[in-house]
Amino acid sequence: MQIYRDIVLPYLQRRLVNIHFEVETRAEWGSDRPHFREQLSQATGRFAEFSISHARGLGGFAAIGTESWSMVPLGFDIEESVRLRPDLVARIAVKLDDARPAGLNMSFIWSAKEASFKALHGDDQPSVITGISLRQWHELEKGVWEFHFYAGESLYSSGFGVVWSEPPYQFSLCFRTRHS
């Protein structure tokens, strides 16, 4: 995950001061492998907060370490890029989503909403993924996009994320915003 290490990780470390998080992916955690769920479960056991995802040939997790000063809900998504057809993405794109900027890969909407949905736990999670709107898209570097997500009017139902592609997969990592 070269783009993650070179671009996404340094950006998130600057943005998430005092929060220790990890992202790990492995081929043996792919959905086409036997016992991938059990293996992922064992790998995340040492973390206070985590999100898992898997696709054919690759699985992984994002996690917040127990030494972090605050437990920040997070969501992680891995998708096989070829599976995200425009007609599928159109089903979850809603009128509340900001106009998508030129250069944004439409399939990023799918991954962004999947990870956002996972970051919204409990009562803050909408009943369907179309209840999440994506706004304020900003290209950090070519092919790496930051966005903000919202579910309803509550400030507790919002956050930000990053989505990127490392063929043949694309990834999204989201963090719910904590308000006091």
User: What percent of the chain has a predicted confidence (pLDDT) above 70?
Assistant: 90
- The tens digit of pLDDT for each residue in 81-102 reads 988 888 888 888 776 566 678 8
User: According to the model, what pLDDT value does residue 106 have?
Assistant: 84
Query: What's the predicted TM-score (pTM) here?
Result: 0.91
Kindly tell me the burial class for residue 66, based on how many C-beta atoms sit within 10 Å of its own C-beta (0-12, 13-18, 19 or more): exposed
Three-class DSSP category at 134: strand
Q: Is 136 exposed, middle or buried (0-12, 13-18, 19+ CB in 10 A)?
A: exposed
Q: What are the structure tokens assigned to 179, written together?
A: 């308000």
Q: Parallel, antiparallel, or unpaired: how do β-strands 58-64 and 49-55 relate?
A: antiparallel
Question: Residue 155's pLDDT is what?
Answer: 59
What per-residue confidence (pLDDT) applies to 141? Answer: 94
Strand, helix or coil for residue 155:
helix
In tens, the pLDDT along 23-82 reads 999 999 999 998 888 998 899 888 878 999 999 999 999 998 766 556 688 999 999 998
